[in-house]
Every structure is written in C-alpha cells, then in structure tokens.
Amino acid sequence: MSTAPALAETVAAPAPRRRGRLLLPILLFGLLALAPLAVSLGMPSGWLALLTRAMIFAIAALSLDLILGVGGLVSFGHAAFLGIGAYVTGIMITEGQAEALLILPVVLGICALFAAITGAICLRTRGVTFIMITLAFGQMVYFLAQALSAYGGDDGLTLYAKSTIAGLDLFSTRTGFFYCVLAALAGCYALVRILVASRFGRILRAARENPVRVSVTGFDVTRIRLVAYVISGMVAGIAGFFLANHTDFVSPAFMSWQRSGELIFMAVLGGVGSLHGAIIGAIAYLIAEDGLSHLTEHWRVIFGPLIILFVLFTRGGIVGMLRKLGGGGGA
Amino acid sequence: MKQPVLTLESVRKSFGALKVTDDVSLSVAPGELHALIGPNGAGKTTLVHQISGMLKPDSGAIRFRGEDISALTPEKRARRGLARTFQITSTIASLSVLENVALGVQAKVAHPLSLFRNAARDAALNRPALAALEAVGLADRAEVPAGRLSHGEKRALELAMALALEPAAILLDEPLAGVGREEGERLIELLSSLKGRYAMLLVEHDMAAVFALADKVSVLVYGRVIASGEPAAVRADPAVREAYLGEEG
Ligand SMILES: Nc1ncnc2c1ncn2[C@@H]1O[C@H](COP(=O)(O)OP(=O)(O)OP(=O)(O)O)[C@@H](O)[C@H]1O
Ligand SMILES: [Mg+2]
C-alpha cells in the first residue's frame, strides 16, 4: 500500500503518450505563427486572409468538437452561435461601440444564454431528434436575422469600422489581425484541452460512451452535457466576433444550416475528439474549398463526395491518418 | 434487530399486460447478502433497475437508509450510497481500468466536476481508485483500457467501480454470468470477502455460489416472490423445488 500514491501517479500519466499528443499541436501552431513570414517571402497575400478565415472557422469547429467529438452530441445548429457572435459584433459596431472588451462579454453572455435555453430543451432528446431540434433552433436564429430589417435584414449588414482592443487598433493590418486570431485560437484550444482533461471533461467523455454507467455512478449526465453545450456555444461566439471583423459584413447566411453542416464536416475531416483535428480539418476544408472553387463553379458536387470518401477510408480523419503514419498504428 | 438498509414495499411494475414485478416486498439488513434467484425472465433485472432508479415502479415504495427513494434519479440514489453492477458488463471501454474506478471516487470527493483540475494526475482520485483495484485483485491491470480486459476481469472491475462509491448497499446483477470456472471461483471468493461490510442484493443463477454466499434467499417467479428466508429452508420449500430448483435436479 505504501507504494500506492507513487504508482497511482505514474499509472495515470504515461509520459511518452503525453509527449506524442503535444507534438502535433505544437507543430501546427508553430507553422501558423510563421505564415505571415511566408507571405513576406513571396507567398500571395490573399493567402494570409484565407488562413485567417480558416483559423476563425477553426475556433468554431474546435468548439463544436467539444460537444460532438468529446461529448458525442451531434449539433446541427452550431452556426447559430457563430451568427450570434457576428451579429452582436456587427450591431454594436454599427451603433458606435467597436471596443472588443465590451463586445466580447456581450457576445459571451448572449451565446451562453441562448445555449442554456436551447440546450435545456435539446438535451431532453437523443440521437436523430437531437440533431433535428438543434437544426430547428439554428434555423430559428437564421430567420430572426433575416427579419432584423433595422440591421440589413436579408441583405446583411456592412460594417464601416473594425473592433479595437483596449483602444488599440490591432485589427487594422492584415498581420495584426492574423496574430490576434491566432492568439484567440491558441487560447481557445488550450482552454478546451484543459476542460477535456479535467474532472468535468472525464465525466463528459465517459458519458459519450456509456451514459447509463455514468448516471449510476452518481453524475447527472444531462447537466454535464448542458455545461459543455454552453461553453461550446460561447467559444463559437468568439469565432463570430472575429468573423464579423474579418469580412466587415454580417448576414443571415452565417448561420444557415449549410454552415452548421460545414462545421461538422470540418471536425470530422480533421478527426473528431482530438481538438487539434478540428483545427486542421477547418484549415484543410477552407483551403480545399478555395482551390476547388477556382477550378469549377460546381465544386460542391466534387467536394462533398471527396470528403465522405476521405473520412470513410481514413477513419479518424486527418489526425487519425497522421497518427497511423507517425506511430505505426499505436495510441 | 437492525434497521434494514434497503426495503421494498409492495413494488409493482407491468410492461403492458405482463406483470414483471408483482407485489414484491423484501429487505436487506446491513452487511447481509440477500440472494434473489429465479428462472429466466422472472423479472430480476427489472427489479434491480427499479431499485437503482433506471425504471420507475408503477406503485410501491423503495426505502434506502430510512428514506423513500422511489422518486429519485439514478444519480441521486448512487450519491446516497446505492451502487450496482450490470448483467451485461457496463464499463467505459476507452478509459483505463484505473480511470473507470476513479469515476466512482470522483462522485465522492469535493468539487467532483471541477472544470480545470486535471483528472489523470489527481492523486485524490487515483489513490482510492487504486485501493479499490487492489481489493478486487486488478491493481496490476490499472493502465489497460477497460475494453481490453477479459470477461472475468471486467466483472471484477465493475465490482471495484461499485466499491469506489463507498456504498451502503450494492446491487449485483449476475456477477458470475458468462465467467469461466477459474475466474468464477475467484469472484466468489471476492464476494465472500466483501460479505458483512456491505448490504448486498445478489441476483445469480449459479446455485452453488448462491448457497455458498447468501444469508437469505428470495425466489422470484413471474414477478412474484414465492419464497423467502434462510437458504436451507428455501432449498427445502416444495413450491420452490417445483417452480425452479427442480429443473436443476
Ligand atoms: N422494457 C421492456 N419492455 C417490455 N418487456 C420487458 C422489458 N424489459 C424486460 N421485459 C420482459 O420482462 C420480463 C422480465 O425480464 P428481466 O430481464 O427482468 O428478467 P430476468 O429475471 O432478469 O431474466 P434473466 O435471468 O434472463 O436475466 C421478461 O419477460 C422480459 O422479456
Ligand atoms: Mg436479468
């Protein structure tokens, strides 16, 4: 018994496995941080805007992965949070309030409220019903945005200013904005990773696999999922804030069901449940979309089946494939 | 006479026209091992589901440590100290053996759902979990994903998961089902080592195990308790022999 504590600690955290898990995210963020350098060395500058956009969607896909990959809840209305974040930002900027330190708390608050209310209803259901109800709530927000005639209605809302952070004009240059988005992405990634590894996260993971076991072990599965849903919605709202600042425009299309579907695609493409998979998936998705849309107008017809084939054949998405290449199939 | 830990009073449950639980009353005293036997489809699992809160009885009361728990959710019953295992093993396959047991420990510690405290390196979780694994003889398998255990090891793991809750009572739904002779013997030994420390309701088909372990036996047939009492008396009961034990020779 005297060796128990020492054993317990070593037993739970095998060092090599932990190091392996950090390699890919460090590589990923390192490469992203160098991207502006590549542009100054001759990459077309449109590339930086594309990467910025990809990282914004990566924040949203990452937030989705928390409930989809980690929690096992297939939400088909996640773009609603992206849209709410973008609209709150757009409306506040239009009303003359561009300060991020004021906008972000409002974004987080409204997303949390919306997630808490809709989540409490959605989470009473399971499986296909859950998918349909999240879809319905997503469409509700979509139609609400269309009806906002004071803020552009169907046509959307053009923004004539960008946000400042504590008064600083960090978003006015491409590189400045790029690094702000990268910092936000890294922060959200770290936060979600800590959550997943926490006591809370372990119960969330366990409940994905066996909710009955978790409930007879003394945990309220619905409440735990609701907390995850709220956090996920808030993080997606942050992505919306950046999206509005990136496009200088917000429109109901931000929260269409197709957008929600794309977010699922990104997470699945990268490999669900690994978190950095969602980031890689979002970047790969947007780069592929960009490339294919230059080739043909009907790129969606090619792209959809391509992704499905890829996911079917790799099982575990891009991250799963990399893991197989790197670790000989292990862990 | 000690106050029973668990008492069922006239519990009834029907699935349509099928009475699966028909006016069942029974009690388990502290430290007592009460075996519930009966033919396939008698309603044993359904009864365990009702006690653990996964199914709602149509009528009747379930008392646990003096409190009527009939209206409580499974998680609330677990938190009050009512643990259970499943006829079909129920673990978290992708989590390690230690992590599975730590789930139960987590239900008992302060801040069980902390958002930021890392769970894997948490000695407050791992130490008691390892102790529970040692109690069931699985300590050397702590790192293995639960899905890779042998069937008998999974059964032992489920027991450790129940013990981690520091329960007052444990409901065991056929802990020996599908287990080979050797592993079965080890499990019986394990159960007998737990005897006296927990109130246990044991559903089991293995008669040798039942009569070796039980302080009290109740026989369930078509949802009704047709006999209840000392093992020897139940074994001798002609109605029991006819309805159930007779088949076994
Ligand atoms: N959800 C349900 N709906 C309808 N009938 C059910 C349901 N669950 C169980 N039953 C029926 O209730 C009866 C009792 O089932 P139960 O699983 O409780 O039996 P058991 O005594 O545990 O049997 P075994 O020894 O095979 O495990 C069976 O006839 C079964 O088919
Ligand atoms: Mg059964």
Structural domains of chain B, with CATH: 6-248 (3.40.50.300)
Following CA atoms A44, A50, A51, A52 in sequence, which dihedral angle do they give, to the nearest 10 degrees?
Answer: 120
Residue of B nearest to A227 (CA): B115
Lowest mean pLDDT among B26-30, B180-184, B197-201: B180-184
B78 with A205: Cβ contact below 8 A: no
Q: How far is B176 from chain A (nearest CA, A)?
A: 19
Residue B140 has pLDDT above 70, yes or no: yes
Q: Looking at the partner chain, which of B52, B90, B118 has a beta carbon nearest the beta carbon of A197?
A: B118
Residue-wise pLDDT tens for chain A (331 aa)?
A: 334 444 444 444 444 455 567 888 999 999 999 999 988 888 888 899 999 999 999 999 999 999 999 999 999 999 999 999 999 999 999 999 999 999 999 999 999 999 999 999 999 998 899 999 999 999 999 999 999 989 988 899 999 999 999 999 999 999 999 999 999 999 999 999 999 999 999 999 999 999 999 999 999 999 999 999 999 999 999 999 999 999 999 999 999 999 999 999 999 989 889 999 999 999 999 998 888 888 877 877 888 788 778 777 777 788 888 877 776 544 3
Asked, for residue A89, whether it belongs to a domain, the answer is: yes
pLDDT at res. A16: 44
Q: What's the token pair of residue A22?
A: 């950090």
A9 with B125: Cβ contact below 8 A: no
Q: Looking at the partner chain, which of A216, A220, A221 has a beta carbon nearest the beta carbon of B84?
A: A216
A220 with B73: Cβ contact below 8 A: yes
Ligand 1 pocket test, pick from B12, B13, B14, B15 with the greatest ligand atom count within 8 Å of Cβ, gives B15
Q: Which has more confidence, A325 or B229?
A: B229
pLDDT at res. B1: 57
Q: Residue A129's beta-bridge partner residues?
A: none
pLDDT at res. A322: 82
Amino acid occupying residue A318: I
Radius of gyration of chain B (CA): 18
Neighbours of A81 (CB within 10 A): 34
Q: Would you call B116 helix, strand, or coil by DSSP?
A: coil
> How many alpha carbons lie under 13 Å from residue B14 in its C-beta half-sphere?
6
Query: Which candidate, B149, B164, B126, B92, places its Cα nearest to that of A10?
Result: B126
Taking contacts as CB-CB distances below 8 angstroms, the residues of chain B near A202 are 95, 99, 102-103, 106, 119-120
> How many alpha carbons lie under 13 Å from residue A300 in its C-beta half-sphere?
4
Q: A315 CA to middle of ligand 2, Å?
A: 36
User: What pTM did the predictor assign?
Assistant: 0.92
Residue B162 has pLDDT above 70, yes or no: yes
Report how far apart the first and last C-alpha atoms of chain A are (Å, whole number).
Answer: 30
**DSSP helix, strand, coil percent of chain A (3-state; round to 5):** 80, 5, 20
Per the structure, the complete domain to which residue A172 belongs is given by 46-256
Ligand 1 pocket test, pick from B36, B44, B172 with the greatest ligand atom count within 8 Å of Cβ, gives B44
B178: pLDDT confidence band, cut at 50, 70 and 90? confident
**What DSSP designation does A43 have?**
S
Asked, for residue A177, whether it belongs to a domain, the answer is: yes
Q: B204 CA to middle of ligand 2, Å?
A: 9
Asked, for residue A261, whether it belongs to a domain, the answer is: no
**What is the side-by-side order of every strand in the sheet holding B67-68?**
B18-28, B6-15, B59-64, B67-68
Between CA A32 and CA A185 the distance in angstroms is 11
Residue of B nearest to A203 (CA): B103
Query: Which candidate, A52, A22, A53, A23, places its Cα nearest to that of A35?
Result: A52
B44 lines ligand 1 (CB under 6 A): yes
pLDDT at res. B124: 95
Residue A190's region, left for phi above 0, alpha for psi from -120 to 50, else beta, is: alpha
Asked, for residue A264, whether it belongs to a domain, the answer is: no
Residue with CA at minimum distance from ligand 1 atom 31? B41
Asked, for residue A14, whether it belongs to a domain, the answer is: no
Q: What's the token pair of residue A320?
A: 């799963």
Residue with CA at minimum distance from ligand 1 atom 26? B40
Q: What's the token pair of residue A295?
A: 């080739």
Asked, for residue A101, whether it belongs to a domain, the answer is: yes
Residues 61-80 of B with CB under 8 A from A: 73-75, 77-79
Asked, for residue A325, whether it belongs to a domain, the answer is: no
Residue of B nearest to A12 (CA): B120
Taking contacts as CB-CB distances below 8 angstroms, the residues of chain A near B127 are 4-5, 8
Domain count, chain A: 1
Asked, for residue A309, whether it belongs to a domain, the answer is: no
